[in-house]
Structure formats: structure tokens, C-alpha cells
Amino acid sequence: MTQSRFFSSRSATRSSADSFSRGLVGYAFAAAATLTLAGLLVFFWAPQDADQGMRQKIFYLHVPLSIAALCGFIAGGVMAIQYLRTRDSSWDLRSYVAIHLSLIFGVAALITGAIWAKTAWGVWWEWKEPTLVSFLIVFLLYAVYQPMRFAIDDPERQARSAAVYAIICGAFVPLNFMAVRLATSLVHPRVLGGAGEMPAEMRVSFYTSLIGMGLLWMALWKFELTAKSVSMRLGKLRAELIS
Amino acid sequence: MNESKETPGLFAAAGAILRKDLRLELRTMETLTTAAIFTVATFVVFHFAFDRYEMSGDIAAGVFWVTVLFAAVLAINRLLSNERAQGGYEALLLAPIDRNAILFAKFAFLFVTLTLLEIFALLAFALLLLGPALSTEMLPLAPVLLLANIGIAAIGTLISALATDTNARELLVPLMSLPLLTPLLIGAARASTPLMSLVPHTEHLDRWLGLMALYDSVFALLAFAVFEYVIED
């Protein structure tokens, strides 16, 4: 198994695989139920946007995706701190999977963002929207996480450098948002206004999809962790069998 | 500084490494000359790219800071690679000193290099492209350069230490540096725009200096907190 080359084999125990998979099915069902409910609310209950109509519905997908990705990035940084403190390689695996998964969410957020920008403003990209620009910079930074990680041969050193990088990036996220917000002309109207400006039906639908997206992130995170640790354990057992 | 005869204190050790690096640089002029040539070459490229004989305002600030940023990436690339190539890195790790001495020394060396480089780059820029002549009205550029250098040096030292363990160093340093240095570039370029306009003046200078100062302090503290983990053997 290729994974076993990258992560210290200490995390490849039966107990870690079990602890990773705990609650996986629950999260998966909760995510499916909440997202289904959110879909129903978004299309049949939330009012149509006065300007954008049906096209505004992508907001309920795009914003939760971005928030889940950003929270996942930050969570990856916190798990990296935990790794440096405990040197337990399962935390390294958690941090890696969190950042990996958030990158995938990030790609989806950028694509849905571009589609929304095209339908709402007629352009695929809008530099005047600081949230979008900040998100791109953060995404570019995290996109280097994997190339950096896998350019290191020694698994211990790989885990340590990746943890330090994850912590640096985690601290970068809020500062970057602040800097880009300052740099964007304050005259430009904020498109993604606070949730308080939305009618109650929109707000409830939005929070439902946000919770659903968070649950989906958790379910996928647990799934990937379980899959990785099981395949590592399999590799280890296979190696034992051969030797 | 020396509490015991065997192990030098943190600052004594950092000072020794810094003196070694500065002496090496003075004798070879490896980083400074290459970075200086790079800045002039970049100005020439920008002249043709924009087809301009002189620049002012936001274009001037942008061209100047992008050039400095790329030259800084060159310097960051070299910061620990020389140690690595000559086996000095292992010697530094073996030395009975606080590991943070390496951070302080490399930070200070990068800071000094960047400052000298920017003085040269600013003079070359004024000579080649900058519209308004250098004047005392541009003195507020000094704190902008100072704050930019602190941030670039802190982030650069961290990145250089992170990248030195990898087998794709030259590729990873710019990829990691550019997003991380973007907020500093925003602050520096926005603060420099009015200073490089045809009638140099200050506008929102405190806002941009504040942003850079905040960014610098966060990353200086962060570098201090995590550096020992990066260079652990």
C-alpha cells in the first residue's frame, strides 16, 4: 500500500482504525438526511431572490462549502498542534486528511463561486469580492501542502514539517482575510452580506445546508481516515505474512 | 552572555552564526550580487512589458514590490541551502546551542540582506523607471521597508527551514512564499502608492503600517514557537 510509505506505521493498529470509524455510519446518515432536508427547504420553502431568482440558490451550496473548507483548514492546523504536542502519528493522519478533504471542498467552493459570479454579475471572476479573493489565496497556499509533504522521504520528518506548515497556514487564514478586506475598496457593496439581512426562511435554509455540509465533511473525514488506516494495517499484515 | 564556558548563550551563539554568514557574504557576495542583478533585469523586463519610460503611483509601487518580492524569494532559497550543501547544517544542529539561535541568526541575516538589496533596488528604480525624483517626501518609505523586511525575514526563515528537508526546494520556496507574503505585499504596495505618485504624499499610511506590524508580530511569534520542530533532527 502506498500510504504506508508516507505515514508512520504506528498509526496502523486495529484500535486506531476502530476509533476512526466510530460514528461514521451515524455521520453519513445524518449528513444525507440534513442535506436532503436542506435541498427541500432551499427549493420549496425559501423565497426566490428578488434580483437573481432561481440562480441565487447556488448560494446555499457555495457558502456552506467554503465555510466547511475553511473550518477544515483551521481544524487541520489544530490537529497539527496536537501532533507536535503528543507525537502521536494518528493526529498527523487526522490533520492530513482534514486538509486534503478541505482542499477538495475548496475546489468545489471555487467552482460554485465562479458559477454564481457568472450568473449574478456576468463574470467568472470578481476581484472586488474580497471573500472570493482571500479564499483563492488560502487555497493556493494549502495546495502546496501535499507537494511539500511528499517531497520529504523520512516519515517522521514529513509529519513534523507538514504539521508546522499546517500551523503556519492556519494562522495565515484570518490575517489574510483581514488584509484582503482592507485592500478591497470599501465602496464596493458587500454581496455576501451578514446572515442577519436575509429573511428568516432563507436563513433557516442556509443554516440547514451549513449543518448538512459540516456533517458531510465529518462523514467523509472519518471515512477517509478509516480507509487509510485500514489499508495501512493491511499493508503491515501483508508484510508480516511475507517475512 | 556566557553563563558557562562550555555553552554560549542564545544571543552569543546567534551573533556568532550571523557574523559567520555576513563574513561569508562579504567575501563571496553570492546572494546580494545575484539578487541585485536580478532586480535590474526585472526592471528592464517591466520597462518592455509595459512599454514605459517612467512609472509613478500604483504601477510604480507594484513593479517595485513585485521585483523586491521575487528577489526576496531568491534570497530565501539560498538562506539554508549553502549550509546544507557544505555540511554546515549538520554542524549547526550538533553544536551545543539553543536551536533558536539559528532562527535569530538566519532571520537577522535575511533582514540585513533584504535591507541592503532594497536600498540598491530603490536607487536603481529611481534611476531607471521611477517618475518622481527621490526626495525627503519619500522618507515614510523607510518604515514600510522596515516592516516588510521583518515579515519577509520571519516567513522566509521558516520556509527556508521547511523547504530544506524536501527534495524539491527551488520549486517549493516560491510556491509557499508567494501566498504567505501576499498580505505584506498588499500593505507595502498600498502604502507606497501615494509615496511614489508624481506628488509624493501619505494616505492611509497608518492603516497599512498597522496591518504589516500585526502580520509581522504574528509570524515572528509563530516562527519562534515552531522553529525548533522544523529543524529537529
Residues of A in contact with B165 (CB under 8 A): 152, 154, 157, 161
> Residue A187: what pLDDT?
43
Average pLDDT, chain B: 89
Report the share of chain B in percent with pLDDT over 90. 53
**Would you place residue B81 in the very low, low, confident or very high pLDDT band (cuts 50, 70, 90)?**
confident
Q: Which of A88, A97, A49 is nearest to A218 (CA)?
A: A97
Distance from CA of A176 to the nearest CA of B (A): 6
Of A3-7, A94-98, A223-227, which range is least confident?
A: A3-7
Distance (Å) of CA A141 to CA A81, A217, B65: 18, 20, 20
- Residues of B with Cβ-Cβ distance to A85 under 8 angstroms: none
Would residue B1 count as lying in a domain?
no
User: Residue A172's closest CA among A144, A213, A194?
Assistant: A144
Q: Is residue B186 less than 8 Å (CB to CB) from chain A? A: yes
pLDDT bucket at A145, cuts 50 / 70 / 90: very high
pLDDT at A13 over 80: no
Residue range(s) defining the domain that contains residue B121: 10-231
pLDDT in tens, A186-213: 544 455 554 456 777 888 888 999 999 9
Q: Hunting for cell 482571500 — which residue is that? A: A134
CB-based contacts of B102: which residues, under 8 Å, 6+ apart? B14, B17, B92, B227, B231
How many structural domains compose chain B?
Answer: 1
Cβ–Cβ contact B187 with A under 8 A: yes
Which residue type occupies B155? Answer: I
More confident residue, B92 or B147: B147
Chain A CB contacts of B156 under 8 Å are: none
| B5 is a domain residue | no
Alpha helix positions (H), chain A: 3-6, 14-21, 24-44, 59-86, 89-121, 130-143, 145-149, 155-183, 200-242
CB nearest to A137's CB, from B163, B166, B182? B182
CA distance A100 to A21: 18
Is pLDDT of A121 > 80? yes
C-alpha cell at B41: 533585469
pLDDT tens-place string over residues B180-219: 999 999 999 999 988 888 888 888 888 899 999 999 999 9
Does residue A3 surpass a pLDDT of 50? no
Residue B2 lies in a domain: no
pLDDT of residue B231: 83
| ipTM for the assembly | 0.87
pLDDT at B73: 94
- Nearest CB to A151: which of B167, B186, B187? B167
pLDDT band at B2; cut points 50, 70, 90: very low
For B28-78, the pLDDT digits (tens) are 888 899 999 999 999 999 999 999 888 888 899 999 999 999 999 999 998
Q: What does each C-alpha distance from B30 to B54, B79, B110, B116 come to in angstroms?
A: 30, 11, 13, 13
Test mutation, B165, B204, B218, B232, chain A, max A CBs within 10 A:
B165
Band the pLDDT of A41: cuts 50, 70, 90: confident
The chain B residue lying nearest A81, using CA atoms, is B226
Task: Tell me if B220 is assigned to some domain.
Answer: yes
Q: What is the mean pLDDT of residues A210-225?
A: 93
* Closest by Cβ to A147, choosing from B168, B179, B183: B168
A2 pLDDT band (50/70/90 cuts)?
Answer: very low
pLDDT at B69: 95
A164 has pLDDT over 70: yes
Q: For residue B132, tell me if it sits in a domain.
A: yes
Please report whether residue B3 resides in a domain: no
Residue A132 CA to residue A123 CA, distance in Å, equals 13
- Residue B226: which residues within 8 A CB-CB, separation 6 or more? A84, A164, A167, A168, B158
Question: Within an 8 Å CB–CB cutoff, is residue B203 touching chain A?
Answer: no
- Taking residues A129-149, what's their average pLDDT? 91
Quick count: other Cβ atoms within 10 Å of Cβ A27? 20
**Whether B32 contacts B116, CB under 8 Å:** yes
Nearest CA in chain A to B190: A183
Among A168, A177, A178, A185, the residue to mutate for chain B (most B Cβ within 10 A):
A168
B205–chain A Cβ distance below 8 A for any pair: no
Find all residues with CB under 8 Å of B225, minimum gap 6, and list them.
Answer: none
Is B154 within the bounds of a domain? yes
Report whether pLDDT(B124) > 90: yes
Q: Is the pLDDT score of A16 beyond 70?
A: no
Structural domain contains residue B4: no
